[in-house]
Amino acid sequence: MTAFAAQRQAFRLAAAELGMASAAWVTVEACADAAGDAAVAELRDALGRDWPVLDAVCAGWLQGARRPRPAPGALQAALAGTQRLVIVGHEALWIDALVAALPAPVAGGAPALRLGLVCEGAPLADWDRVLANQAGRVERLGLADFQAWAGPRSSLLTFVYGQGQGTVFVLPPWLRVSGSDVRLQFRQLLGWSVLGLPLQVYPRWLVSAAADTLTELVEDVA
Amino acid sequence: MPPPHHRHGHPPHHPHPPHHPPGPGARPIPASRLLGFVDEAELSRSLASLLPDEGDRRFVVRCLVGEGPVHHRGANYVLLSLLQRLLARQPGLVADASHGLPVPMRLPPHLAAAAEPDADEGHYPLRLPTRALDALAGGDAERRAAMVDCLTDGPPQHALANVLMVAMLDALLGAPAAGPGA
């Protein structure tokens, strides 16, 4: 295996298990720490066309952007009244921040906000390993059973990587769960904007969905 | 003064739509303007006593007029608004959708079977009052059950509008009849 192929495979696994934005920030930081900005530029040239979120993060880094500190306050405000949150797509940095901001469940009691992750759409991901990172705080759901969490106190959440005119760039599983049969079974359909950097290459891996598939787009602002 | 009558097939020379459709199959109001009369905020205000929780109300209003085929959304708005006006004529009369039968979401059967019948989750945040339905069914439990089935089955645009309309009618029909001197 060539170094390039290994690099590509490594990033693909990281993106599957951490999420594309989370993996991109971790990788770019490690790259810059090890070999400076020139290596970040090289990384962008090598993988950017295949990984548009990584491309955007590399470009942002070279222009002075640094890893965001996810701020779940606005999301928590939007979740008022929600008791079960179905998360579609995975971004470790943002889910970690949300979990850390929530009150810890009382021993033996149910948490005020249950979190479920729809474990679909990333064939390389070892979902047991992904969920193990959350120490039981995030429950496993699939496309076949996430509607078991439907209800007036249940919300859907996905991550948004960019916006166009009337569109948002999201992960493909969002299209599978936001259909007309499902969207009126959940209190709200939230997008959490995580990238905040312009996508400069064709956003493969992502899909363009109508912005009104979301009832609210939450910006990640501190 | 009433507007001049326009014969079928002859469009008016002013920009206002005619009062009568110009012909079979014609759609005088473009779909993009069809819901111009729908005031979601007003509808939400009018449903505040039926759905006191703001988040629940936002959710139900989205189901009623925010999504789905435009003609259902418009019709829901018209019928609920008219019934609300009727209710408002009787001060003190308040419709109630907090008691009655649960209104289930139409989940895939394998998931619906696992849902608890009286749990909040898996059900819409309102209930179907049954007093008026009991009277209409004449005490026949199967008839009433069939009525409930018809009212709550199908897409939420229908089911939730049906439940709210029954709640309003239930209140209206339960009010003392106004006599000639009332």
C-beta atoms of A150 and B122 within 8 A = yes
H or E stretch covering B149: helix B141-152
B115 touches chain A (CB under 8 A): yes
**ipTM of the complex model:** 0.71
C-beta atoms of B114 and A180 within 8 A = no
Q: Could you give the residue ranges of the DSSP H alpha helices within chain A?
A: 3-18, 20-47, 52-62, 73-78, 92-101, 127-132, 173-177, 180-183
∠A31-A43-A159 over CA atoms, to 5°? 85
Contact between A136 and A81 (Cβ < 8 Å): no
Q: What is the pLDDT along chain A (222 residues), one digit of tens a residue?
A: 677 778 888 999 999 999 999 999 999 999 999 999 999 999 999 999 889 999 999 999 999 999 999 999 999 999 999 999 999 999 999 999 999 999 887 887 888 999 999 999 888 889 999 999 988 899 999 999 999 999 999 999 999 999 988 999 999 999 999 998 899 999 999 999 999 999 988 888 899 999 999 999 998 765
Report the interhelical angle of A20-47 vs A52-62 (nearest 10°): 80
- Distance from first CA to last CA of chain A, Å, rounded? 43
In angstroms, the separation between the Cα of residue A45 and the nearest Cα of chain B is 44
Q: Which fold has domain A73-219?
A: Rossmann fold (3.40.50)
B74 touches chain A (CB under 8 A): no
| pTM of the shown model | 0.81
For the segment A8-20, what is each residue's pLDDT rounded down to a tens digit?
889 999 999 999 9
Query: Mean of the per-residue pLDDT values for chain A?
Result: 92
C-beta atoms of A81 and B124 within 8 A = no
- Domain locations in chain A as residue ranges: 3-62, 73-219
